[in-house]
Amino acid sequence: MNPTSAHDQEGNQMSAAPTRDLLVVGAGIAGMYAVHKATESGLDVLGLEAGSDVGGTWYFNRYPGARCDVESVDYSYSFDRELEKEWQWSERFATQAEIWSYLDHVADRYRIRERFLFDTRVADAVFDEATSTWSVTTEAGETHRAKFLMMATGSLSEPIKPRLAGVDSFAGETYFTAMWPHEPVDLTGKRVGLIGTGSSGIQAAPIVARQARSLTIFQRTANYTVPAPNRVFTEEDQRKIQEEYPHRREVSAYAAAASPHVSHTKKATEVDAEERRAAFEARWAEGGVLFSKTFPDQSSDIVANDYAREFAEQKIREIVQDPQVADDLIPKDYPIGTKRIVTDSGYYEMFNRDNVELVNLRRDPITEVTDWGIKTEQGSYELDVIIFATGFDALTGALTRIDPKGARGARLSDVWADGPVTYLGMGIPGFPNLFSISGPGAPGVLANMMTHSEQQVDWCLALLQTCHEQGIDTAEPRQDAAEKWTEHLEEVASKTLFVRAASWYMGANIEGKKQTFMPYIGGFGTFRKMCDDVRDAGFEGYVLTTNGGGQ
Ligand code: NA7
């Protein structure tokens, strides 16, 4: 540690404090790996985490039914073959509890917790140009300093509370799926209302329906969901998983979604009806989000997309007995797959239960939340419990809430007012020595977060090490490089159907947020190759400066 004297934005000298090599914000998948890898590389690193323990998304989202929609064997770190060998997943799609146990195991195995401060929420981050250091202030008023700052703050970590009239007046129990209590929640015999039918609401609903006296689902936008034929792994499965791991990892490392799955070799528009149906049937049986990738043209050609949509609609009508409910469950206003297809466990079947009711808010909007329940234009619903599964200020929310102050007076909320501008998702012009992990501009939420996090963290630490070795004080992406990357990202997205959906990928779920497709949709493998090339070219697109002179 080097004691330095930092300055605030007005140029006043601030009290001396140790300056570390790196501060990592967030103890989720990326932050845990970053802290471990940085320590292994001999860097002085400190992690700061708002929660009381590691896990990020998997620490907070412990609502009933929470599972990952990426298969468990892929949703695990690949950096250590020994770790891979000693961990056995029990099911094909892991529960939140099992994923958290895995992350707990990783934290113990690599002694990650001792390098984190928990219950430490970052309130502010300021770059001091005189010393090329970041000062990070916590809500408790402590200040930490480092040469580099990595924001591993998550893509879906800033939950939103819906702006409904009277939302705080409800006298019963309220829960947010993204902030579910650690203590068991007993819904037995209760009248439960659930607002929100994204992944969280759809996963929670069937379990709530089994416990509660009644479940009323308030649906504003219907979501496509494909049931996961989950199963417990046998001894034989475990043997095969281990045998296939090295190959599986190799294929995933440069795959489109960082998982080993591939689409049909032909386009949906090139095959006959029989072949098309067989392919959709096979993918439906495999289950989950990958249905959106049955054919390679499904997300870019509306004709191909319509084939997939019609197939899914037929499935919904086959499962749901009440034709009106089935119709309400069929999305009407966006192509299938342009909002992430949910991976569920018995969602459509649940509507055949007597204690489940669907309220279509498009026909009958909520007018008010009262102390006794929810009022809609046409009805009144008396409730004991309201569960909010109402989503997140995705991709940018966690960063803009902290609102880092960079060089030359740059403030992130101003710089991104017209949509996020990044260089490869990881660098932001105006914010030297700051790394953003899985935020806007990267494949992030469109890829397997485990592999994606490892790739981004490795790349950022390679840049940090280059600076370290060459005595470089600041690394900042050029404005023109970031603009070019952002234009490329928009151009790639514009060729897909994703821009037709009012999704959180587009920022459409937040009032006043600039609507632009935020993740890079050109594929994880393509992205990784581009990042490799930039790194191998000496971090082209970055300005690397030593104090007192540029390079
Ligand atoms: P999502 O997918 O953003 O879903 C949030 C849901 O909440 C969605 O159905 C929203 O309807 C609904 N919502 C939000 N505000 C309201 C109000 N005011 N009234 C009624 N309904 C509302 O979040 P999730 O947590 O389910 O999933 C996020 C990702 O996590 C998921 O894609 C996976 O990748 C994992 P809307 O669509 O806005 O009409």
pLDDT at residue 551, as a whole number: 42
Helical (H) or strand (E) element with 143: strand 143-151
Give pTM, 2 decimals.
Answer: 0.95
User: What are the backbone dihedrals phi and psi of residue 163, each rounded to the nearest 5 degrees, phi first?
Assistant: -85, 85
Which ligand 1 atom is at minimum distance from the Cα of 339? 32
Q: Is the CB of 509 under 6 A from ligand 1?
A: yes
Q: Is the CB of 365 under 6 A from ligand 1?
A: no
Dist CA 375 CA 373 (whole Å): 7
Give percent helix, percent strand, percent coil of the chain, each to the nearest 5. Answer: 35, 20, 45
Hey, whose CA ends up nearest to atom 6 of ligand 1? 196
Domain boundaries, the chain: 25-158+394-545, 191-388
Q: Is the CB of 203 under 6 A from ligand 1?
A: no
Q: Is the CB of 76 under 6 A from ligand 1?
A: no
Sign of the C-alpha dihedral computed for residues 129, 133, 135 and 136 taken in this order: positive
Q: Is the CB of 259 under 6 A from ligand 1?
A: no
Pocket test for ligand 1, best of 342, 390, 452, 518 (most atoms within 8 A of CB): 390
In 187-310, which ranges are E strands?
Answer: 191-195, 214-219, 225-227
Question: What is the CA 275 to chain-centroid distance, rounded?
Answer: 34
Dist CA 47 CA 118 (whole Å): 8
Cα of 200 vs centre of ligand 1, distance in Å, is: 8
Q: How would you write the pLDDT of the chain (551 residues) with one tens digit per residue?
A: 333 344 444 544 445 568 999 999 999 999 999 999 999 999 999 999 999 999 999 999 999 999 999 999 999 999 999 999 999 999 999 999 999 999 999 999 999 999 999 999 999 999 999 999 999 999 999 999 999 999 999 999 999 999 999 999 999 999 999 999 999 999 999 999 999 999 999 999 999 999 999 999 999 999 999 999 999 999 999 999 999 999 999 999 999 999 999 899 999 999 999 999 999 999 999 999 999 999 999 999 999 999 999 999 999 999 999 999 999 999 999 999 999 999 999 999 999 999 999 999 999 999 999 999 999 999 999 999 999 999 999 999 999 999 999 999 999 999 999 999 999 999 999 999 999 999 999 999 999 999 999 999 999 999 999 999 999 999 999 999 999 999 999 999 999 999 999 999 999 999 999 999 999 999 999 999 999 999 999 999 999 999 854 44
pLDDT at residue 451, as a whole number: 97
The tokens of 102 are what?
A: 């895995």
Dist CA 167 CA 164 (whole Å): 5
In 182-325, which ranges are E strands?
Answer: 191-195, 214-219, 225-227
Cα of 208 vs centre of ligand 1, distance in Å, is: 17
Cα of 196 vs centre of ligand 1, distance in Å, is: 5
Which ligand 1 atom is at minimum distance from the Cα of 163? 18
25-158+394-545: what fold? FAD/NAD(P)-binding domain (3.50.50)
